[in-house]
Structure 1
Amino acid sequence: MPSRTRSVVSGAALATAAALLSPAGAYAGPVPGPPAPGPEGGRWTAAPAPGGGTRPSARDRPYFYLEGAPGAVLKDRLSLTNPGGGAVTLRLRGGPTRAGGWISTAGREIRVPPRTRADVPFTVTVPGDATPGDHPAALVAEGGGRAATVPVHLRVTGPALAALSVEDVAVERRGSAAVIRYVLVNRGNTALRPRLAVDADGLFGPVLRRAARPLPGTLPPGRRMPLTEPWPDPPVLDSVDVRLTVTAAGGAHGTAETSCTAVPWGAAALPPAGLLTGAALWRIRRRRRAPEPRQEERAAPGPGPGARTGRQTTAHPAPAAASRAGTDT
């Protein structure tokens, strides 16, 4: 036969609970045992309320995670714990992003008696036109000369779109070094962790190759993030095409290019002959880049009378080994 446990509550505790069961809807319960200083040194704390009426601990969730469709009303509870010897009055609000405005707490001000925990209900009303994806927000508690922020990871269900672009690419010289400036833009509806690859080609070949690597941090939907890429050893005399390529999970991909010319101070006084030499070198490089004509194309005669002109397709002969194998069979 299951056992039943009876709790005995003193008159003072009942008075405390009655004071906190206000129209705001906050629920408070006495914290059992003597107050422990803990990592906050005996000061009040704010955290997601644990389940089952237990005390918050390091094993509990460190943030809120809520998920729903546009138009949904999501509910949870914020736990305010006051282990000190005096009452505190805490102000609650949502922030700091647009999604923080979707949060409504049961009360804007909550009085927490000493050695007491108050679990404050709150709701998140997702607008009907909210875009699917991640919408970061937070619950902020302020009082007693300090503030605590509890992250709210809100995800609106629906088709996810991963889209990323890189814009405003520019190269800025800084003495013998340079820096590449650019802006990443998350044009989708889900948070992204971008990866960046850098390529630069001068008149005489590649001058910079950096394989794709993760960038620090996460780029939220709709956010623009200005970034820089150091370039400690750029060429001192060259015309360079710089290309940035960014990728992220979900197929997000973006690329952008810019050009820069590195000319030492003395090169500005070059005579026209020097400029002609540079142009000749550029022409040689362009010629080397051009594909060599195939042997069949060089040997093929010109079109006879009545023949069609245009792009020709050359059939490559089968390897000799394959030909012999066919003969033996």
Structure 2
Amino acid sequence: MKNPLATLAALALTAASVLVAAPAGAAEGDTVTWSVRPGDENGEDGRAWVEWEADPGQSRTEHLAVTNHGDDAVRFRLSAADGYFTDTGRFNMLPADQESVAAGTWVDLPASVSVAAGATEIVPFTVTVPADAEPGDHAAGVAASVHSTGGGEVGVESRVGFRVMTRVTGELAPSAGLAASASWTGSVNPFEAGDVTVAYTLENTGNARLGTRPEIVLSGPFGLGERTLRGEEIAEIAPGETRRGTVRFQDAWPLLTYDVRVVAQPLPVSDDLSFEGVEPASAQTTVLAVPWPQIVVLVLAALLAAWALFRRRLERRRTEELVARARAEAFAEAAALPARAEPALITAADTHG
């Protein structure tokens, strides 16, 4: 199959979107274009997805509007599955080959619907919360799909749909957990700083969807050179899901050790789903930043200085030995010279004697 949008549709489920795919058994070049949006018995109602609050055991009837934008009638397969948020924050639902075990099993809808060319069919579906459902947020998705092979052996299911979010009443306990690790990478050039890379993992350990934007604080011994960076914003993360992030502190000189602290304040995803007094998640770690290039330079400088001092002392000793040798030779030569007679003294008495 040569249609790239079909592959894209199989990978991501987006609300209120239109995708194109080749239907099963269609001639090459034939396409199906359709959209799926929430609605009521009269048609689309402007919502991007379904979101409601329910007591355990409560049911609710919703509708999905399936519009066929193509030129031929199409039978769409309808499905519901557990929902989740991807690492990029997009909502998705489990593929058809994976069995749902959570909110996806709460949705009851017809197996398929036939839609004439250019027409819209309104399909009711029911969401029933189990009597023993735990309080908090539960994500599911509904979709209309077509299956295509494009003449190949491996088929592709292309689907379009929207999320169905259910908040079960009861005690809401939003919380998050953090884990962090860090590493320091130095430069071979002793006159250049290195980098500290911090990796962290945030997990939604509560029962409510939340958003956050982690802050990462880096400080040397005694708080020297403290700096703060912000990680990527996490717009929405469902209970039980995790997100990973990485930040890099540049110009980090080797100060032997760095302390790293990661803090993430859980935030509500909307004003309608607010909560207060939630403790921030935090994690701490320490990373070694040993200045090996600088130590090598200092050792070499110390060795050169010691060698220069040794050479100076050696030259001084040689000079002193040469001076002492010359002095000894001079004394020896002086001692070897013959004695000279002293001249007689002539006095006046001797002259007139």
TM-score of the two chains, using structure 1 as the length reference: 0.62
- Which residue of the partner structure matches residue 206 of structure 1? 224
Q: How many angstroms does 1:89 deviate by?
A: 0.9
1:64 aligns with 2:64: no
- Which residue of the partner structure matches residue 221 of structure 1? 239
Please, which of 136, 142, 152 is the counterpart of residue 145 of structure 2? 142
1:111 aligns with 2:129: no
SS at 1:252 equivalent: coil
One-letter code of the match for 2:66?
L
- Which residue of the partner structure matches residue 73 of structure 2? 87
Q: How many angstroms does 1:110 deviate by?
A: 1.5
Write the distance in 1 (CA, Å) between the matches of 2:47 and 2:131.
28
One-letter code of the match for 1:47?
R
- Which residue of the partner structure matches residue 255 of structure 2? 237
Please, which of 61, 75, 85 is the counterpart of residue 75 of structure 1? 61
Q: How many angstroms does 1:130 deviate by?
A: 2.2
1:165 aligns with 2:165: no
Q: How many angstroms does 1:213 deviate by?
A: 7.8
Contact 1:165/1:185 (8 A) holds in 2: yes
1:154 aligns with 2:181: no
Map Cα deviations across residues 143-181 of structure 1 (whole Å, 9 max, x no partner).
Answer: 1653202121221122211212212x1112345322101
Of the structure 1 ranges 39-48 and 187-196, higher mean CA displacement relative to structure 2 is found in 39-48
1:128 aligns with 2:131: yes
1:197 aligns with 2:200: no
Write the distance in 2 (CA, Å) between the matches of 1:93 and 1:172.
46
- Which residue of the partner structure matches residue 315 of structure 1? none
Write the distance in 2 (CA, Å) between the matches of 1:170 and 1:203.
18
Structure 2 gaps, min length 5:
1-16, 21-31, 84-101, 149-157, 187-193, 268-275, 303-353
- Which residue of the partner structure matches residue 292 of structure 2? 265
Contact 1:134/1:190 (8 A) holds in 2: yes
Is the alpha carbon distance of 1:183 and 1:150 closer, same or farther for their aligned partners in structure 2, counting shifts above 3 Å? Answer: same
Write the distance in 1 (CA, Å) between the matches of 2:200 and 2:236.
16
Contact 1:139/1:149 (8 A) holds in 2: yes
One-letter code of the match for 2:281?
G
One-letter code of the match for 2:111?
R
Q: How many angstroms does 1:73 deviate by?
A: 2.0
The percentage of counterpart residues that share the same residue type is 29
Write the distance in 1 (CA, Å) between the matches of 2:136 and 2:217.
32
Q: How many angstroms does 1:47 deviate by?
A: 1.0
Map Cα deviations across residues 85-133 of structure 1 (whole Å, 9 max, x no partner).
Answer: 321011111124332232121x212122233322111112222332222
Map Cα deviations across residues 166-201 of structure 1 (whole Å, 9 max, x no partner).
Answer: 12x111234532210111111111111123233233
Is the alpha carbon distance of 1:255 and 1:44 closer, same or farther for their aligned partners in structure 2, counting shifts above 3 Å? Answer: closer
One-letter code of the match for 1:99?
A
Structure 1 gaps, min length 5:
1-37, 275-329
Contact 2:51/2:164 (8 A) holds in 1: yes
Q: How many angstroms does 1:76 deviate by?
A: 0.6
Write the distance in 1 (CA, Å) between the matches of 2:147 and 2:203.
39
Equivalenced residue count is 229
Please, which of 247, 264, 269 is the counterpart of residue 246 of structure 1? 264
One-letter code of the match for 2:245?
L
